[in-house]
Amino acid sequence: MKKTAFAVAAVALALSAASCSGSDSKNDNKDADAAKKSTAKVDSDKFAPTTNIRYYNMDSVMSNYEMVKTFNEVNLRTMTELQNAEASRSNELQRLASNIQQKMQNNGYLSEASYNADMAVYNQKQQQAQNYLGSLQMKAQEEAARQQQVFLDSINAFLATYNKAHHYDAIIVYSPGDYFNPALDITQEIVDGLNAAYKKADKADKAKADSTAVAKKK
């Protein structure tokens, strides 16, 4: 009986030792795996590629770009012309309407035909005014769309040339709510470059226009 109890105790002790040994082995394996993963992460971080980016503020570009200032001056003149045209046509229609009203009050219409003739003139003038003002508004919208496209094309063309010398991976537009290191801001460089290119192109256009004018005089 004692031998049996001793044997059972020995087996239990052996199983306990084996269990501990297995647990230690598993722990060692886990530690080794963790070490491998940590080493792999360090190696990955060590050789991870970096993105070389810069950004610019579009609001600042639009406020300081000479092309935009020129467009704004053109648009202001266009708006003034449109407002003057609206006022002129409105005054003319009001005058015709007032004349018709006075003639009605003074029994100036001797027949329905004469009244209808004046109303026909009024309606014709009104339609002409609507057509004319609509045409002016359409031209203004088309000019605004053209200006926007010219503006965007000029920026894209400049950035393409600019980046040939700098080799940035990306040049992005700053948006409110974004954060970038201020050291990455190239807004002033872009404004200076755009203005230099615009002045050069404007000078060339004026020289071409002068040359054409001289040729026509001959």
What are the extents of the domains in the chain?
A: 1-48, 53-217
* pLDDT at 49 (0 to 100): 59
Helices (H) and strands (E) in the chain, counts: 5, 2
Closest CA to 61 of 181, 144, 151, 164: 151
For residue 111, what is the DSSP state?
A: S
Q: Which pLDDT band, with edges at 50, 70 and 90, does 42 fall under?
A: very low
User: In which band, very low, low, confident or very high, does the pLDDT at 218 lie, cut at 50, 70 and 90?
Assistant: low
pTM of the entire predicted model: 0.66
Question: Does pLDDT of 100 surpass 80?
Answer: yes
User: DSSP secondary-structure letter at 185?
Assistant: B
Using CA of residue 75, residue 81, residue 85, residue 91, what is the dihedral sign?
Answer: positive
Q: pLDDT tens digits, residue range 150-209? A: 999 999 999 999 999 999 999 999 999 989 999 999 999 999 999 999 999 877 666 655
- Separation of alpha carbons 117 and 121, rounded Å: 6
Q: What is the pLDDT of residues 43-90, one digit of tens each?
A: 444 544 577 999 999 999 999 999 999 999 999 999 999 999 999 999
In the predicted structure, residue 18 carries a pLDDT above the cut 60: no
3-state SS of the chain: helix, strand, coil percent to 5? 85, 5, 10
What pLDDT, on a 0 to 100 scale, did the predictor assign at position 166? 96
Band of residue 13 on the pLDDT scale cut at 50, 70, 90 = very low
